Structure 1
Amino acid sequence: MRNHSWSVRIDVARIWLVAIAIGLLVGCTTIRLVGDYDKEIDDGVTALQRKTETHLIKISAVPGPGAAPYKGTENFYQVTKVEVSSLRVRADSTSRNSLTVRMLDRLQNNYERLERMHKEGLKVAEIPDLRGALNSQFMAILTFELAKRRGDTPDEAKALLPATKPARDDGGKK
């Protein structure tokens, strides 16, 4: 009888040791719901934002409230299409990266809208709103990538918040 009692205790101890080992292994495992941080996407989106801001400043330099001329800006739209497409292909090649892909698709759609508006007669007064919308998209993509780099759980709702307004150099007077 005593041998049977010790045998049961040893079996119970083994079960507990196996359970603890499994618990430790599971506890040390991280589950990634999104793809890894990609420096190329981070750098590419940052460069696109810089090019876009330069473009918007250039086309808004038209004196008066008239339309910003489209002629001479065709290269900007061609280059941005290629760059966003390249970033999208890169993002799509990484597993669990569909949110980044969707954000890049939206950015591409908005570049196409901007070009269409520009061809049809983009008013200089419309440029600040377009700048804010595009900067919101850039911030969403960059916030998401930087969260991946830190290992945070990205919050899509927070990433899509509107951009903060830049400080005005006129003392707040219009």
Structure 2
Amino acid sequence: MTITKYAGRGAVFLVALSVISACTSIQLVSKYDEVIDKQTQELQKKLDKHLTFLRFSSEDPLKYESNQKFYTDTLSDLNAISVRASAIYKNKLTIQQVELAKQNLAWLVLLNKRCIDRELTPEQKEKVNKNGVDLSMDCKAESGATKDEPSRGAQKLKRSFLEPVQNMFNQNFGAIMALELAKKRGDGNDEESK
């Protein structure tokens, strides 16, 4: 009688375990977020359009002071995406890609002010990560510049940098959009996954 009693309890335990496991799913990454997807698409288009304009513009639009507002708006857009991404459970990959876009923007700003003339060193990247994008008119070593230099608003972005920078941002934003689309395919809410 005791063997039957334990077998009955075992069967009940297995049934309960099956019900619990059927209701439980493991989430490794966040779910698709349409807002992040759309904001990223809009920002990519805005940045691509601006950089294309600069590639074929006269000299004045290449000045840092001519681009400062655009950089400020772009950073604000990236911050909005970052805040949204940070509020979503298991969204580490998207957050990392947005942080990379902020680093790329910091690099572009430093190039435009001619605070640097090449890729950032690991020490400069650490300063950019710590202090963010420096949208002032000055070059500041604490923000990733090679050295401190005041009044850099009249400095012009080298036209030869524009195409590589444009490709870099397109790849960066493309990675964010691809990640969101992969989440969409995997979340079971679209027609393809039924």
* TM alignment of 1:114-125, pairs within 5 A: 114-120=108-114, 121-125=156-160
- 3-state secondary structure, aligned to 2:64: coil
Pick which of 114-123 and 134-143 moved more: 114-123
CA contact 1:91–1:101 (8 Å) conserved in 2: yes
Residue of structure 1 in register with 2:123 after alignment:
none
Matches within 5 A, 1:2-21: 4=1, 8-21=3-16
Structure 2 counterpart of 1:88: 82
Q: Is the 8 A contact 1:62 1:124 kept in 2?
A: no
SS of the equivalent of 2:35 reads: helix
- Report which stretch shifted further, 93-102 or 19-28: 19-28
Aligned-partner Cα distance in 2 for 1:131–1:27: 47
Match of 1:112 among 106, 109, 116: 106
Q: Which amino acid aligns with 2:158?
A: K
Q: RMSD over aligned Cα, in angstroms?
A: 2.2
1:4-33: per-residue Cα shift (whole Å, max 9, x none)?
A: 3xx533531341242133134314521112
TM value normalised by structure 1: 0.73
Larger Rg belongs to: 1
| 4+ residue runs over 6 A deviation | none
The CA distance in 2 between the partners of 1:92 and 1:122, in whole Å, is: 33
In the alignment, is residue 144 of structure 1 matched against residue 184 of structure 2? no
Q: In the alignment, what sits opposite 2:66?
A: 72
**Cα displacement string for residues 129-174 of structure 1 (whole angstroms, at most 9, x for unaligned residues):** 111111111011111111222227xxxxxxxxxxxxxxxxxxxxxx
**Amino acid in structure 2 at the alignment position of 1:140:** A
Q: What residue ranges of structure 1 are gaps of 5+ in the alignment?
A: 153-174
Is the CA contact (8 Å cut-off) linking 1:77 and 1:115 kept in structure 2?
A: yes
Given that residues 101 and 172 in structure 2 are in contact (C-alpha distance below 8 angstroms), is that contact kept between their aligned partners in structure 1?
yes
Q: Which one is further off, 48-57 or 8-17?
A: 8-17
How has the CA–CA distance of structure 1 residues 50 and 40 changed in structure 2, closer, same or farther, with 3 Å as cutoff? same
TM, length-normalised to structure 2: 0.66
The SS at the match of 1:62 is: coil
